[in-house]
Structure 1
Amino acid sequence: MATYLLVHGAWHGGWCWTRVARILRDAGHNVYTPTLTGLGERAHLAGPDVDLECHINDVLGVIDNEELADVVLCGHSYGGQVITPVLDRRIDKFRAAIWLDAFVPTDGHSLMDGWPPERAQHVRKQVAAIGEGWKIEPMTPDYFGVMREEDADWVTRRCVSQPIKTFSQAVHLSGVWETVPTKMYLLAENHPNSSFDRFSIPLSKKPDWDVRAVAAGHDVMIDTPDLLAEIFLELS
């Protein structure tokens, strides 16, 4: 029996893992799908002071309070920005880590630091104009490559705005996260607006990384839950 800790991406919540979690639990495994502060069913906790460190502490809290060990950790998209420092601070708790079409941060840099300057400027203007000065409105499902109408409707209903500080706060890493025994990067081939090959290509040249392409849109756990669960089960 394995323990999986699955961290969602921006604007989403633990809800997005429902299909994958069901498959893993039916196979006899423990699955945790926490919702980060200010998102999903915790949207009422959103505010201008919610930052990346808050989300890191959300996940650390699950690990510590549930007394988890030998964990398979996965971060989707923005979730990669969260799980990397989590690994850095609790490296002894993990057997494997998966970056699912995700950001792989570098020490001293924020997620927004990796955006083209014009995009960062546009987002900041949007936040000032329609985000009350502190929140970023969610992208539409088609941006993520969610094509089935029922899935797109579900994603539209459930996604909420996210505090900009979670994107603009720099991450601090010692580098110990890289010693996790198994490291996997999954690139979604059908993400129409992807730039994640800037992570997958250099990582594919490292012998201690398992880098794969999956035939899915960015929300892989919604698009192809059976395929994703099958990959996760390889690490059980």
Structure 2
Amino acid sequence: MATATSGVIDAARAQSARKTFVFVSGAFCGGWIWRRVSDRLEQGGHKVFAPSLTGLAERSHLLSKDVNLDTHIADVVNLIKWESLENICLVAWSYAGFVGSGALESIGDRVSSVVWLDAYIPADGQRVADYAAEPVRKGIQAAVDKGEAGVRGSAHYPSSVVAERDRAFAESKVTPHPVGTYLQQIKVSGALQKVAKKTYIRLPRFPQPPFDKALADCKSDQSWATFEWPDVGHMAMLDAPDRVSESILQAA
């Protein structure tokens, strides 16, 4: 009888250890970029959602001037609501720091942990364009001037973004990013800071002062766990999927 009971307890523990992850992608990318990490976590029995935001990747046919930051926030909020997800680990990478921060304003009660992977932590009223590097700012202005719906990313990614072995793969998958998402001010009231378990991972090979500031701010706040991976490019989920998977699992 003891053996049977302990078996039930072990099964219950295994069940309770299963986590639900929602991955949100950065600019120019979609859910495809998380595939290696998603596969590893799903093999461990975890539930993973990696939506491509409107106008990107396999949803690039929906690119239009009407797509803005609210659209992308709604993509994440509606996924979580319609899939009835609870006790989520929300993972935001790069641009998605804006999307995740905005989504938490609506679904913060469903999120038990967050991982910000080389991602923005915006203040109320800020725009992605305010943070963008000079080449991206020029791209945004060019798209606006031409009346185009999307901003084109870099044609060639340096090693600070992705390792040589995955460069051709990444460059073949990226799509123009909806220009409206860069220009809309975010509305946040601090829902991100209210999440109980928070982790920030900085990839300093990728030079981005706003991410350095986010790391410094998180380091000075005891409610955040912080890590720096100096040997990994910005697309860490391609460069180091094992490390990303293990770190996200621990952070959840």
TM-score bin (small chain): over 0.9
1:110 positional shift: 0.7
Does residue 1:178 correspond to 2:190, yes or no?
A: no
Mapped to 2, the partners of 1:50 and 1:164 lie a distance apart of 8
Which of the numbers 167, 171, 179 marks the counterpart of 1:164?
179
Question: TM-score normalised to the size of structure 1?
Answer: 0.92
Q: Which runs of 5+ in 2 are unaligned?
A: 1-17
1:61 aligns with 2:78: yes
Following TM superposition, where does structure 1 have runs of at least 4 consecutive aligned residues deviating by more than 6 angstroms? none
The answer on 1:134 being equivalent to 2:173 is: no
Paired positions, count:
232
Percent identity, please. Answer: 30
AA paired with 1:154?
F
Which residue pairs with 1:47 in the alignment?
64
Please report the RMSD computed on the Cα atoms of aligned residues, expressed in angstroms: 1.7
| 2:233 aligned with 1:233 | no
Q: Tell me, yes or no, if the aligned pair for 2:86 and 2:110 is still in contact at 8 Å.
A: yes
Give 2:101's aligned residue: 84
CA gap 1:230/1:120 in 2 versus in 1, 3 angstroms: closer
What is residue 90 of structure 2 aligned with on the other side?
73
Structure 1 letter corresponding to 2:189: S
Deviation at 1:199, TM superposition (A): 1.1
Q: Which amino acid letter does the alignment assign opposite residue 37 of structure 1? A: T
Q: What whole-Å deviation, never above 9, does each CA across 1:104-163 have from its counterpart, x for those lacking one?
A: 1110111112347x667523443256x6433210123217521223x1111111000011
Higher-Rg structure is 2
For the Cα contact (< 8 Å) 2:129–2:137, is it kept in 1? no
Alignment partners' CA distance in 2, 1:177 and 1:201: 16
Offset at 1:24?
0.4
TM-score (norm 2): 0.87
1:66 shift after superposition: 0.4
Partner Cα distance (1:115, 1:155) in 2: 20
Question: What's 2:3 paired with?
Answer: none
- Which AA in structure 2 matches 1:198? K
Alignment partners' CA distance in 2, 1:73 and 1:128: 32
The whole-number CA distance in structure 2 between the counterparts of 1:125 and 1:70 is: 40
Q: What CA distance in whole angstroms lies between the structure 2 residues aligned with 1:174 and 1:229? A: 30
Cα distance change, pair 221–85 in 1 and its aligned pair in 2 (3 A): same
SS at match of 2:251: coil
